[in-house]
Amino acid sequence: MPTLHIEHAIVDFDLWRTAFDRFAEIRKQSGVLSHRILQPIDDKRYVIIDLDFGTQEAQRFLTFLHEQVWSSPANAPRARRNAANTIPRTRLRNAYTPMTASTRPVRAAS
């Protein structure tokens, strides 16, 4: 299952969440099956999002984000506008096998 992993700085979580929610229908139409939103415990001005796709549409959706969302301050309000944080960090990943307690590797005692 392809997953689009996104990380970026934000101004305020509620403001960011409002902008994120505006694109719910587009995410659904683009093949997003589920999403997870995370924040580092020590940084409330940063979000991590994983968007899970059932097909290989993740690359097309990433292009949409770059061209239609992140390029527009009205669509993507952000903080910390500097060279390092202007564009969110992204990575496309594939999940092959779900990790469960019974499938995790066990380290031998030293």
| 62 vs 79: which has the higher pLDDT | 62
Where does 2-94 sit in CATH, by number?
A: 3.30.70.100
Residue 103: the pLDDT is 58
Other beta carbons within 10 angstroms of residue 20's beta carbon come to: 18
- Residue 80, pLDDT above cutoff 70: no
Contact indicator for 87, 69 with CB cutoff of 8 Å: no
Residue 17: the pLDDT is 92
- Residue 84, pLDDT above cutoff 50: no
Residue 82: the pLDDT is 41
Vertex 45 angle, CA 95 and 36, to 5°: 25
- Residue 109, pLDDT above cutoff 70: no
Smallest CA-to-CA distance from 49 within 9, 12, 97, 98 is with: 9
Residue 101: the pLDDT is 59
Smallest CA-to-CA distance from 47 within 16, 92, 72, 25 is with: 16
Residue 27: the pLDDT is 92
Question: What's the token pair of residue 72?
Answer: 């527009």
Residue 43: the pLDDT is 92
pLDDT per residue as tens digits for the range 28-75: 999 999 999 999 999 998 999 999 998 778 888 888 888 888 777 676
Read off the pLDDT of each residue in 1-15 and give the average, rounded to a whole number.
89
